[in-house]
Amino acid sequence: MKMNIAIDGPSAAGKSTIAKILAKQLQYAHLDTGAMYRCVAYGAKLLGVDEHDEDALVKMIDALDIEFRGEGSVYIKGTDVSKEIRTNDISMSASKVSAFPKVRARLVEKQREIAKDKGYILDGRDIGTVVLPDAEIKIYMVASSVARAKRRYKEYLEKQIPAVYDEIYKDIEQRDYQDSHRAVSPLKKAEDAVEIDTSDMTIDEVVNRILSIIQSV
């Protein structure tokens, strides 16, 4: 029987990488909920909507027609924005727009609708606590700020996105603060989540650890 798997944790802890691999191995679908907040931030920039105007942002969400197509690609109004939504600038803006309760409510509704038939691995900040509190498996993935900044820097270089290490480190710390101190659905470990510190673990080790958790259910 298919389940839903929630993977939460701070930025660059490895959630999306691990979720993609697990989804392939388990033949589950993967929903990167951070990409949805990134689309709101990028869409606002694209359409000239003020990122401080909560009502205007909510109104814009449906018009964006956010779509996930194969291999983790993300589309806004039929245009592939997979690369554009990954810049540092959009990361910071996504963290800001994600603090608006009405923006969250609309995206959470979409996420629940997508995952309603199970068989999904969702990664984000509030999956185990708010989006799917009944998820059968809940993982809370953490890593030191240095480990995360190094990973993000390497990822940017590989994807040929311009990056400065010190800026990435600073932004990670700032996003951690913003994401865990906002009033609505702050980043927080669900009581029944299993915490995994991936700082000194390889990708394979993390995948195997989660597979063993799944098998023990």
Q: Which stretch binds ligand DC (CB under 6 A): 17-25, 32-40, 159-167, 188-196?
A: 32-40
Give the residues across from 31 on adjacent strands: 122
Distance CA 24, CA 129 (A): 25
Q: Is 42 among the residues that bind ligand DC (CB under 6 A)?
A: no
Q: Which stretch binds ligand DC (CB under 6 A): 54-62, 73-81, 94-102, 113-121?
A: 94-102
Closest to 115 measured CA to CA, from 134, 97, 140: 134
Within 13 A of 201's CA, how many CA atoms are on the CB side?
A: 18
> Which residue in the set 30, 38, 148, 151 belongs to the binding site for ligand DC (CB under 6 A)?
38
Q: Is 98 among the residues that bind ligand DC (CB under 6 A)?
A: yes
Q: Is 93 among the residues that bind ligand DC (CB under 6 A)?
A: no
- Angstrom CA distances, 163 to 15, 72, 131, 154, 174, stand at 21, 22, 32, 9, 17
Residues 167-186 that bind ligand DC (CB under 6 A): 175, 179
Residues near ligand DC (CB under 6 A), total: 14
Nearest approach in angstroms of CB 39 to ligand DC is 10
Structure tokens belonging to residue 81 = 């924005």
- In the bound state with ligand DC, the residue whose beta carbon lies nearer, of 1 and 191, is 191
- In the bound state with ligand DC, the residue whose beta carbon lies nearer, of 90 and 210, is 90
Q: Is 198 among the residues that bind ligand DC (CB under 6 A)?
A: no
Distance CA 76, CA 23 (A): 23
- C-alpha triplet 180, 163, 44: angle, nearest 5°: 60
Question: x/- string (CB under 6 A) for ligand DC, residues 43-72?
Answer: ------------------------------
Q: Which helix (H) or strand (E) holds 46?
A: helix 33-47
Q: Is 126 among the residues that bind ligand DC (CB under 6 A)?
A: yes
Nearest approach in angstroms of CB 108 to ligand DC is 8
- In the bound state with ligand DC, the residue whose beta carbon lies nearer, of 15 and 210, is 15
Q: Which helix (H) or strand (E) holds 124?
A: strand 120-124
DSSP string of 72-89, one letter each residue: G-EEETTEE-TTGGGSHH
Q: Which helix (H) or strand (E) holds 196?
A: strand 194-197
Contacting positions for ligand DC (CB under 6 A):
11, 33-34, 37-38, 91, 94-95, 98, 124-126, 175, 179
